[in-house]
Amino acid sequence: MAASTGRYHLTLAQPAGEQVTSQAASKVDAEAVEGCGHQLLRVGDLAKLTGKTVRAIHHYEELGLIEPAGRSKGHYRLFDAETPVRIRWISKLQSLGVSLGEIRTLVRDRQASPSAQHAAGQLRRMYEEKLVEVRSRLAELTALERELEASLSYLDACGSSCTPELVPTNCAQCDRHAEEQHSDLIMGALV
């Protein structure tokens, strides 16, 4: 009987008349999985490879975002060598502002999708939305970068032209403020 554990299908031998549940299938002995030629990783290995905590990895598993390929003889969860890729994908989606709940929905929708083409279309739509958000955020950050550079230049001049006797509350009366329009990063500090 073939049981699905993520991307791989394992064939489990079962005694006649017994049914293999999905829980039993996920607890396949490591030797059966190793026979597939895949390197298996324990949770600690995943944590080291991805920079995530063991708790985070267990949480991803609880949410159904990752699945162990089997268990070791010592009953440790074992994951296939592609699991770090899935964890990095989850991290990147989170950095794009996608919640774990939304990622779980995305994974479930993908698994329930009637075709690979349909699943790719769903993923593409989300990526398009995120690209618009990222480009908008980049434009904001680029403007902020320019403002920071101008503010640093202004502050560098303060360091060389300002007198040590001037107290910070008198900065707003400095002749330099009349020279040009200054950014909120400078003016906000002076009021």
- Res 6: pLDDT: 44
DSSP string, 29-69: BHHHHHTTT--EE-HHHHHHHHT--HHHHHHHHHTTSS--S
CA atoms within 13 A on the CB side of 118: 7
131-143: pLDDT as tens digits: 999 999 999 999 9
Instruction: Give all domains of the chain, ordered by start, each with its CATH number.
Output: 2-92 (1.10.1660.10), 134-190 (no CATH)
62-91: pLDDT as tens digits: 999 999 999 989 989 999 999 999 999 999
Q: What share of the chain is helix, strand, coil (3-state, %, to 5)?
A: 60, 10, 30
The predicted model gives 91-97 an average pLDDT of 96
> What is this structure's pTM?
0.66
